[in-house]
Each structure stands twice: as structure tokens, then as C-alpha cells.
Chains A and B, each alone.
Chain A
Amino acid sequence: MLAWGRRVLAHGPLARARRRAWLPDLAALAVYAGLALLVNARLWLSGGSAATADNTLDHAQFLFFFQHAAHSVVHLTNPLFTGELGAPFGVNLMANTALLGLAVPLVPVTLTAGPGVSYALALTIALAGTATAWYVVLRRHVTRHRGVAFAAAALAGFSPGIVGHGNGHPNLAAQFLLPLIVSAVIRLRSSTRPVRSGLLLGLMITYQVFLNEELLLFTGVACAVMVVVYAISRPRPARADAPRFFAGIAVALGLAAVLLAYPIWFQFRGPQNYHGPFTWAPFYWTDLAAYPAYGTNAVAGWLGSASALNDDPGETNAYLGVPLCVVALVAAVALWRLLAVRVAAVVAALFVLLSFGRTIMLRRSDTGIPGPWRLVADLPLFDSVITPRFALVVTPAVAVLVAATADRLLGSAAPDAQPTEAGPDLRLRKVLTWGLLAAVLVPLVPTPLHTSEPDPVPAFFTAGTWRQYVGTGTIVPVPPDPYSESTLRWLVATDLGPSFVDGYFLGPTSPSVRIARYGPPDRPTGLLLGQVAASGAEPEITDGTRALALADLRYWHADALVLAPRTNDDVLRQTVDDLLGRSGQPVDGVWVWDVRDLVQ
């Protein structure tokens, strides 16, 4: 395609050539779209019914988010809040990665084809869009060479980390706005209209908040590093550009603050808000050996070289392989004088260090070396960061290093580097250079996501039978589960019909303690039933436990308890029978206890 484009430039009429100059770009976009479809192939082929096998729970959550956005639009309810999960309090969706930036535009798809198709479409757009955005931005700021930009952007958009988040985290895979934000920040300093440029940046920041705030935080940190490196490297132009730059930044932040005032207020001060720290965050870290290893979702992993460290396919946030790490290191040293390389190298180094977490681990053993993350780990916002995700910033920085390297090898770095003389040796060298690039990057080509079919939803929900048992109250699944995938799938199947007392979400620990936890606050009956489900042993039911159960049912505004088939369901049924003093009814694939008369 490139050769063809060049031939047209050389031989065709100039006007026609100009008209067709975008064809190679279109081809790059088409390849990215094809690659994104390949990654999502199994999701598409299932017609939206399949779940991402390596993380079915988060997949179900996003199906709920898509369904909820459609429901909000159709019924004109607040898209930032849901009463259907964690009843009677509900869930603050602004604080729960609801991905409104994709879920709202995809409402027509969700309504016509279902949230499973919306998930596949959102992920396809996310992957192809991210690679395309990097292609545009790398061409703009790093390399003029289309082929180099294509390869480097493919790395940035289809990195093992991003593809890994295809398993249930389309919000982390949708990084298409981040390169444009970085580019807008770069351009502010030379902007002739800082206010207009600032407004544009502000709009992008606003939109990114509805995609993912964690990544926006990372991008903010990366941009700050970029500005510092620039200011140190080129102090004089930096001082000259400073007024324009800061004017632009102020406008951008101002606009974003105005537009986001309500959502951000809602997130941090609205109903069911919570704050950090995430008590589970320290359990995630990046091993030092994770960068020079391969992940399970790359071709190299499929070929047998997947690292044993990559036990969570959803968090494959490093895994660049030894060859790419070496190339990045060499590029950082050899091309340090280039500003783009310097910025990318410093950003990569910093985020690698941060991603290690509080202590640096090597092959699962503690090296005893403290990670610099310790210094900021307890700051607000930072205390809810899962540190391995910092590695998501490392990959695009490495892509910049790869692009600069390839540029030097191809001799395409200099301005107007259309080779006028193409001897056989030069041509050979270029082909071999592409071979080297392929050798380093092809092992990271993504493999299709694994899928599985979720358990069928009981007819009790799909046939609408639940309406006979639930009025204005709630359903108590037996046992209530703070990581309940089934509640999410039941809600999607009923188009958010009933309210459930459990679910899978982040909320406050209790009305008075706002520290984050998964699921609703624990109730004695919930804990009791959870224990029975885990152990299979029938507990001793006393008048005390019966009284607690009644109090909990009132607290929950329960209309019915529902037990779906599961392990130990027999013991659970007997326990609930015993607690309520009445037998559950087998209805449409579940056991139901109608408790409306008890609660009132």
C-alpha cells in the first residue's frame, strides 16, 4: 500500500495524488479495525450472548451499565444513579465506572441488539479507536513515516495491557481520547488562539471523565512529567511559551470544571458516595519480571512463552517481552538528545517505577527495595489506584521510543526524507529494518479473547414471574453476595425490573463510614447465609437469629427471597425455611419465599 502510494505520488497527476493521499491512512485504520474485530471475534460470533471468560463478573457489570444507560434514556431517569442494586440505598454510578461516554451513544444499539452487542461494539471501537488516535498523534509529533507510525500505534493500541482489559474493562481499553489530550497539551504552547485551544482541551477532558477517570489521572501525571522534562530541556522556549500554555490550561480546566460540576459533585458528594483508600489496592502490584515477559493474550504466550506471573489475564498491564524492553532502553540512551525520546523515556521510567507498588517484587519474591509509590500511595485519589495499571502508560511511551528508533534505521527522520536514490542495498536495509521491527512487535500481536456462555437466567426472571412476588419492595438473593454476577445478569434479563439488595459495585462501608467496599454493607442474615453457602453446614437457628432475619428483611424492604440453583442450595433452602418458619415455593427454576406479609 505504501509503495503503491509512493508510485501514485511519483507518476500520477498531482491533484489526484493529493486526493488519494489519505488512502494509506485509511488502510491503517482498516487494519486496526480488523485487528479489533479479531480480538472480539468470539464475542461477535456469539451474537452478544457470550461473556469474557477470563472475567465474567466485570463483563456482567458492564452489560448492566449499558442496559442502565438505555433504561435511563428511555425512562428519563438519572443515569448517574441506580436503585436496582444494593437496595434500599442504591449505587452511585458516577463513582462506579459506568462508561457513560460510550454507553449513552450506544443506547440505540443496546435497545435494538442488547447490551452484549453493545459491549462487543464498545470494545471494538475502543481498541481500533485507541490505535487510530495514536497513529494520528505519532504522525503529528514523532514520525513522518506512515509505516513507522502504523507499527508503533498498533503497539500502543493493541498492547497486552489494553487487550487484557478487553476482559470486562472496556473503560480501561477505551483510550482513544488520551493521545489527543496529550497532543492538545503539546500544542497549547504554540497555539495562536490559546483560549480556543483550551476550550477544545477542556471538552476532551470532560468527555474522558465519562470514559474513565483513572486513566485521566494517569494522563495528567504523564503530561506534568512531559512539561517538566520540556522545561528543563528547553528552558528558554519554555519560559517564552509559558503564558500561552498556562492560559490554555486554565481555560481547559475551567471549562471542564464548569461542565463536570454536577457529575463530580454527584460522584464525591452525591448519594452513596465513598472515598478511598481501596483496601484491596495493595494486593495488586507489577512484578519486575513482568515487563520483560510475555502475557497470556499475546501470540508469544499462545506459542508457549506466557509468563506464570500473568495469573490475572485481565491485568496484563506490562508484558512487553525482553526484546522490546531492550529496544526501548537502547533507544532511550542512543536517542536521548531527541525531545520526544527524552519525554517518552522519562515517562516510561517513572510509570514503571510507580507500577511496582509499595515494594519491588522479582519473580514473586520481595526484593526488600521500597517502590517510590510509597511516597504518594496514601494521597487522596492515588489511594484508589490499582498500581499495575500505571503500566498502561508505559506501553505508549515505549511505542514512541520504537517509532523514533525505526525512523533512525529507515533514515526517515530528517525532513523531506523521500529517498531520491534507492539502491538495492538501501532497499534491502529497509526491508531488514522492517524485519527487526516485526521481530520485536509480532510476538505481541493479540489473540482473540476467550469467551464462555453464562449460566442461563431462571425463567422466574425471564418469564416475568417475579412480578407476582415483588411489589414496591426488594428481592433478597440467597445468599446476598457482594460480588454477585447473577444479580447483574438477572437485572439485565428483566430490563432492570426488580431491585436487589446485593449486586457488584463499590459503595460506602456503612452510612457513617464512607471508605469504599465491594457490595452493600453486611447484615447478620447475609453473613449467616453466606457462611452456609460456603460451608454447606446447616447452622443452629435460634429465636435470636429469627429475630435478626426479620429485622434485616424490614431493613431491606424485602418482598421476596430467591434461591437459584447453586452449590449447597439444599442446605440454604432448609436454613431459610427454618429462619422464616415457612417453606419456600419452587417457581420457574428458583425457590421463592414471599415475605410481604412478614415485613409489613
Chain B
Amino acid sequence: MTHTPGRLRLPWSAEDAAVAMLYVGLAVLVTAGLWGSAATADNPRDHAWFLFLFQNAAHALTHGDNPLFTPLMGAPDGVNLMANTGLLGLTVPLIPVTLTAGPTVSYGLSITVGLSATATAWYVVLRRHVTANQGVAAAAGALGGFSPGIVGHAVGHPNFTAQFVLPFIVSAVIRLRSATKPVRSGIALGLMIAYQILLNEELLFFTALACLVMVVVFVASRPRQALAEAKRFLIGLGVAVGVAVVVDAYPLWFQFFGPQHYRGPFYWAPVWHLDLVSYPSYGFNAIAGWLGAASRFNNDPDETNAFLGAPLCILALVAAVTLWRVLAVRIAAVLAAVFMVLSLGDKIQLRGVDTGVPGPWRQLRRLPFFDTVITSRLGLVVAPAVAVLLACACDRLLAATPGAPGAAPEPGETPADLAWRRPIVWGVLAALLLPLFPTTVKITAAQNVPPFYTTGTWRDYVGSGTIVPIPPDPFSEPTLRALLATDLEPRFVDGYFIGPSAPDRPQARYGPPDRPTTSLLRGVATSGQVPAITDTLRANLMADLRYWGADCLVLAPTNHDDALRRTVADLLGQPGRPVAGVWVWDVRALVVDQARLP
């Protein structure tokens, strides 16, 4: 553990640069298809959401709007973006790219930077705290930055691939206890935390939990030393939290108390959890999966948050037991165990079958913040912990621990034998890691946007009011794509976001609160049955249109669009007009007339 002044500036050697370049190459391999205008095949909707965020950040800058809020979706209320994975930490720095090359390029770039920088950060931090061997750190760093979990999120979650600050946060926490200037160190840590808040708060929360576990293990292992260092550590930590809260005061206030804020629980969070066999099997996005070993339990490609494979799990176990006396190993082992068990969720499952054993997550997930965690993502912490175990094991196998006298032949071993031992250790290491080699993110053609939006025809039908897509959809990819195609001009009453259930109920839900007409039209879209239109339904529609401030209703080609068209025509008493690939009902006159009624 060498302490260099100016701890974020690193003495880069040519080897370090080469390792970073390898990571960039690997990241480009993963993102090869993402730079064009296509959508990711496994999660085109989340992909579209982040394209919107990139576009929105650029738009906010050029138009002087608040980047933390958008009125364009969920009109008339709008969406609190700070409470919706705002990713300002990437979208703002990439504004020049978004403005010049478009949000798709920004997305590809953010994933590429996220993956390669995360691996590089782990490389640096592993070298600092775990191993002096550059090769070992490079291999373990690759696991930390390109684990199946992280690569899985490349299909739609750049906020989860960008983990590059986390290793430095962990490292800064480790160093606090021995900091000569605790306040200065605390400020640096606080700034990192403040930045991470603008990247991804869920990961920051995991990192805080992991640091808590780390501190507990340290205190239990070295109580006397811990006691001696407690003061410095707590001062630094207090300063850090204070700095972070002050720097991010406005965004945090906006997130929890600003317009359209919401509260947990996410009722859908427990649906995503891992299975006991998720860890010792392979996911779809690893080369082993491509070769046929993909687990049938990896049913959601972007939530591949475990899937390390049996060989790596076995080695991690052996390393944990064998090297238990090494503090880094002990911490990593406890971390891996804790987060693995938590990621299994409420009821621990084995091969899709409930074992009847309750998971400890059952108790935790009722707590604030915990109640909005997608359970399986806790598995993201396990991969870097396993990387630490792997690094320690390889170090010992190569007999290259810091301070060790170096590799010497065993009795009866010739120098030639020794010379072969090292490549073999590397070979076996490759054997454990190569199955996890990432594959390129699959892409598909992006959803077609009707010419109504792309040619600007919509302007003829929309004034200061909103567009009501038929049916309004709380998971609407078409609305995201239409917004992108119109450079964020019209306002839509639906969209894809998380907001409060109702103005007086802050519990989170996807999309805007349901209106009577929303439910009616979604029923038609599902069943294809045109309902009997009553005066009540017509009155509901009028009320809803006024609530929405609607200028027009737009029906794009979809399932059962004929039944939808007839229903809306009947409700409004207007046939609707086929315009530029959609059916449009201009309701400006109606809404205004109705508003004038006493």
C-alpha cells in the first residue's frame, strides 16, 4: 500500500496504458453494434429511454431548461428526472457529442467509457490494495469491469455499466483510516460520492452497504487498530457525507421533494431475484453462453447479475477458505457471501423451485431505500469481490505477493520446471475467465416512427396542448421514439418513467396515473372488442381530455387499431383523419368549447 500524494493522479506506466487500451478494445467489442441508429435487441425500450435522457440534457442546455425535470412525458404533470435514473454525470459531459453526433452515439460512447473505465478503475484499485502483479490486476480488473452482470446492463442501462467511481470510493474509504489529512481526504471522497449520485444512486447505496460490511469485518479482525484509527476515519467520513449532501443538495431535494417525486416500495422489485444456481452457471452474454452453456435461468438478458460459472465459484470458495487470514480475502469473501445471499430475494430458489428457506432480504426490503432495490442487482457486488479473491489466489500461485522473496524452485524442481509453472498458472486463470469473455450486444432495427412526427405534420394539430397516444401506455417506447424524432417538442400524456400513483399518493408506479379513458382504451387494445359507448364514457373522455389539456388524439398502427379507431370515433363523434401514417382526432375545438361551459 503505497501512498502517493495526489491520490487520484496515477503514475502511468506503458503497461498500465496498454491494459487500459485492452479494456477499451474489449468495450468496443461489446458496443460494436450500438453506434448506429439501431436499437438493442434485448431491451429497446430502456435503450430509447436513455437516448431520451441524452437528448434531454442537450436540449436543456440549449434551451435553458431544468435538466432535472421534463414536462414532455406524463403531461400535464411531467416527470421528475432526478428520481428517474437521470445520469446527469454522463449526459451533461456528453452534451457536445449529443449535439454533434446524436444521442445514439452518446449512448454507445457512454457504454464504452463505462465498461472500460470501470475495468481500469478496478485495475488501479486492485494494484493499490490487493496485488502488486500487473498481470493479475489486469485479469481481475477485467472481471470487475466486464462481468456478465455489467455487460448485461449494456443493453439498456448505461447507468449500471458506469461503475468507474465505485472502486475509487471504496479505495478512498479504505484510506480514510490512515489519512494524514482526514478533512482533505473526506472532501475528495465527498466529491466522488456527489458525482456518483448523478450517475447512479442504487449502485452508491450498494457500495455504502459493501463499505459497511468491509468496516465491520475490519473492526472484528483488527479491533485494536480499528479503535486507534476510528477518529480519523469518522472525521473523514463525516466530512465526505457533509460535502456530498451540500454539493448535491438541490438535486437531492428535487428528487425527494420536488415536483412529481415519489416514494417506495417498488412493488415490482422482488420479481427480479436470483436463483442459487445463477452464480455457478453461465449467462447469455458470455462466450460460454454463446457456445451453448447459457443457463435457462438467465431469462432476462439485461439482468445477468450473477452467472460467474461453476469453475470461478469453486476457485473463489477455495481461495476464501485457504487465504482467510489475508484481510482483503476475508473482506471480499464476506462481501461476496452477504450480497449473494441477499440477491436471492425473499424465498431462496434452487433451479426455479422454492427451497422453503426464507432469504434475509425479506426483512431488509421493507426498510426505506431498500424497498426500491431490484433484488438481483445486489449480485453486481459479487463479481468484483470474486475478482479480489481471484487476484489473491493468483498472486499466491505465482508467488509474487508484495514482499515475498520471489519464486524459487521447489526441491527437486529444475529452473526449467519453474519457468513452465508460471505460464501454466496463467493458462488456468485464462481457463476460469475466458468462459466469461463478453459477446457483442445484439441489436435490432429501431421501432418505426410514423411520418406524422418525422415530417413535422404534428405541428398542424398541436398548439400549446398535449398529444394523447391511443391507447396511453405507461411503458410507451413509441412515445420515447416520437419525442426523439421531434427533438423533444410536443408533450405526451403517456411515456415511460416512474412517478407517483396519484397527486395525493406518492407510491411509485410506471407511467402517469390512470384516467378512466386510459383503462377503457387499453381494454380495447388488449381485447379487440369495441365496447358499447355510453354518455358516461363520453363525459369521462371529455373530462380526461380537459385534464390532459389535449390538442389531439393520435392512433399509430398497432394491434387492434381498427377497433381502437372505431371506439375513439364513437366516443368523440368524429371519424378521425388518416394523416401521415396515423389517425388523428383534432380535439382543440372540443376541449376549448367544453371549457367555456358553465
**Given A330-B424, A330-B427, A417-B411, residue A440 in contact with residue B291 (CB < 8 A):** no
A429 & B411 in contact (Cβ 8 Å cutoff): no
Q: Is B311 on the interface with A (CB-CB < 8 A)? A: yes
Please tell me which stretch of B10-18, B225-233, B243-251, B391-399 contacts chain A, meaning at least 4 of its Cβ atoms lie within 8 angstroms of it. B391-399
CA A495 – CA B272 in complex, angstroms?
57
Q: Mark A427-442, 1 if CB is under 8 A from B, else 0.
A: 0110111111011101
Q: Is A420 on the interface with B (CB-CB < 8 A)? A: yes
**Given A305-B293, A323-B432, A429-B397, residue A443 in contact with residue B311 (CB < 8 A):** yes
Considering the complex, which residues of chain B in the window 387-443 have a beta carbon less than 8 Å from any beta carbon of chain A? 393, 396-397, 399, 404, 409-414, 417, 420-421, 423-428, 430-432, 434-435
**Given A324-B431, A408-B421, residue A439 in contact with residue B312 (CB < 8 A):** yes
Q: Is A544 on the interface with B (CB-CB < 8 A)? A: no
Please indicate the chain B residues that have their CB under 8 angstroms from the CB of A299 in the complex: 310
A443 & B310 in contact (Cβ 8 Å cutoff): yes
A411 & B397 in contact (Cβ 8 Å cutoff): no
Q: Mark A147-159, 1 if CB is under 8 A from B, else 0.
A: 0000000000000
A435 & B322 in contact (Cβ 8 Å cutoff): yes
15 contacts between A and B (CB under 8 A): A292-B435, A299-B310, A306-B293, A310-B292, A323-B434, A326-B434, A335-B424, A405-B428, A417-B410, A425-B399, A434-B318, A435-B315, A439-B310, A440-B432, A443-B310
A331 & B424 in contact (Cβ 8 Å cutoff): yes
CA A305 – CA B286 in complex, angstroms?
12
**Given A305-B310, A443-B311, residue A322 in contact with residue B319 (CB < 8 A):** no
Q: Is B35 on the interface with A (CB-CB < 8 A)? A: no
Please indicate the chain A residues that have their CB under 8 angstroms from the CB of B462 in the complex: none
Residue from B280, B323, B420, B425 within 8 A of A303 (CB atoms): B280
B420 & A334 in contact (Cβ 8 Å cutoff): yes
CA A292 – CA B290 in complex, angstroms?
10
A363 & B292 in contact (Cβ 8 Å cutoff): yes
Q: Is B7 on the interface with A (CB-CB < 8 A)? A: no
A440 & B428 in contact (Cβ 8 Å cutoff): yes
Please indicate the chain B residues that have their CB under 8 angstroms from the CB of A434 in the complex: 318
A322 & B292 in contact (Cβ 8 Å cutoff): no
B310 & A442 in contact (Cβ 8 Å cutoff): yes
CA A300 – CA B424 in complex, angstroms?
24
Which A-chain residue is minimally distant from B393 (CB atoms)?
A432
Please indicate the chain B residues that have their CB under 8 angstroms from the CB of A405 in the complex: 424, 427-428
Please indicate the chain B residues that have their CB under 8 angstroms from the CB of A435 in the complex: 314-315, 317-319, 322, 393
A417 & B412 in contact (Cβ 8 Å cutoff): yes
A296 to chain B, nearest CB (A): 11
Report which A residues bind B (CB closer than 8 A): 289-290, 292-294, 299-300, 302-310, 321-327, 329-331, 334-335, 363, 405, 408-409, 411, 413-417, 419-421, 425-426, 428-429, 431-436, 438-440, 442-443
CA A416 – CA B412 in complex, angstroms?
7
**Given A334-B420, A405-B424, A417-B411, residue A308 in contact with residue B291 (CB < 8 A):** no
B281 & A305 in contact (Cβ 8 Å cutoff): yes
Which B-chain residue is minimally distant from A309 (CB atoms)?
B292
Residue from A305, A308, A409, A443 within 8 A of B421 (CB atoms): A409
Q: Mark B290-323, 1 if CB is under 8 A from A, else 0.
A: 1111111110000000000111101101110011
Please indicate the chain A residues that have their CB under 8 angstroms from the CB of B399 in the complex: 425, 429
A428 & B322 in contact (Cβ 8 Å cutoff): yes
Total number of residue pairs linking A and B with CB closer than 8 Å: 182
CA A310 – CA B393 in complex, angstroms?
34
Considering the complex, which residues of chain B in the window 58-112 have a beta carbon less than 8 Å from any beta carbon of chain A? none
Residue from B315, B396, B411, B420 within 8 A of A335 (CB atoms): B420
Residue from A302, A419, A442 within 8 A of B314 (CB atoms): A442
Q: Is B449 on the interface with A (CB-CB < 8 A)? A: no
Please indicate the chain B residues that have their CB under 8 angstroms from the CB of A293 in the complex: 288, 291-293
**Given A323-B435, A431-B318, A432-B319, residue A292 in contact with residue B410 (CB < 8 A):** no
Q: Is B351 on the interface with A (CB-CB < 8 A)? A: yes
**Given A331-B424, A409-B397, residue A304 in contact with residue B414 (CB < 8 A):** no
A420 & B428 in contact (Cβ 8 Å cutoff): no
**Given A432-B319, A439-B318, residue A305 in contact with residue B431 (CB < 8 A):** no
Q: Is B179 on the interface with A (CB-CB < 8 A)? A: no
**Given A304-B297, A327-B427, A429-B399, residue A322 in contact with residue B435 (CB < 8 A):** yes
A411 & B294 in contact (Cβ 8 Å cutoff): no
Which B-chain residue is minimally distant from A307 (CB atoms)?
B292
Considering the complex, which residues of chain B in the window 262-289 have a beta carbon less than 8 Å from any beta carbon of chain A? 275, 277-278, 280-282, 287-288
CA A254 – CA B351 in complex, angstroms?
56
CA A287 – CA B277 in complex, angstroms?
26
Residue from A303, A307, A329, A419 within 8 A of B411 (CB atoms): A419
CA A329 – CA B431 in complex, angstroms?
10
**Given A305-B310, A432-B393, A443-B310, residue A322 in contact with residue B318 (CB < 8 A):** no
Please indicate the chain B residues that have their CB under 8 angstroms from the CB of A409 in the complex: 397, 421, 424-425, 428
Please indicate the chain A residues that have their CB under 8 angstroms from the CB of B296 in the complex: 304
Residue from A294, A324, A411, A436 within 8 A of B315 (CB atoms): A436
Residue from B294, B314, B431 within 8 A of A330 (CB atoms): B431
Please indicate the chain A residues that have their CB under 8 angstroms from the CB of B282 in the complex: 305
CA A432 – CA B412 in complex, angstroms?
20
A292 & B315 in contact (Cβ 8 Å cutoff): no
Please indicate the chain A residues that have their CB under 8 angstroms from the CB of B430 in the complex: 326, 330
B297 & A308 in contact (Cβ 8 Å cutoff): no
B287 to chain A, nearest CB (A): 7
A305 & B309 in contact (Cβ 8 Å cutoff): yes
Please indicate the chain A residues that have their CB under 8 angstroms from the CB of B421 in the complex: 408-409, 411
A431 & B310 in contact (Cβ 8 Å cutoff): no
A414 & B413 in contact (Cβ 8 Å cutoff): yes
Please indicate the chain B residues that have their CB under 8 angstroms from the CB of A304 in the complex: 275, 277-278, 281, 295-298, 351
Please indicate the chain B residues that have their CB under 8 angstroms from the CB of A433 in the complex: 397
B312 to chain A, nearest CB (A): 7
A289 & B311 in contact (Cβ 8 Å cutoff): no
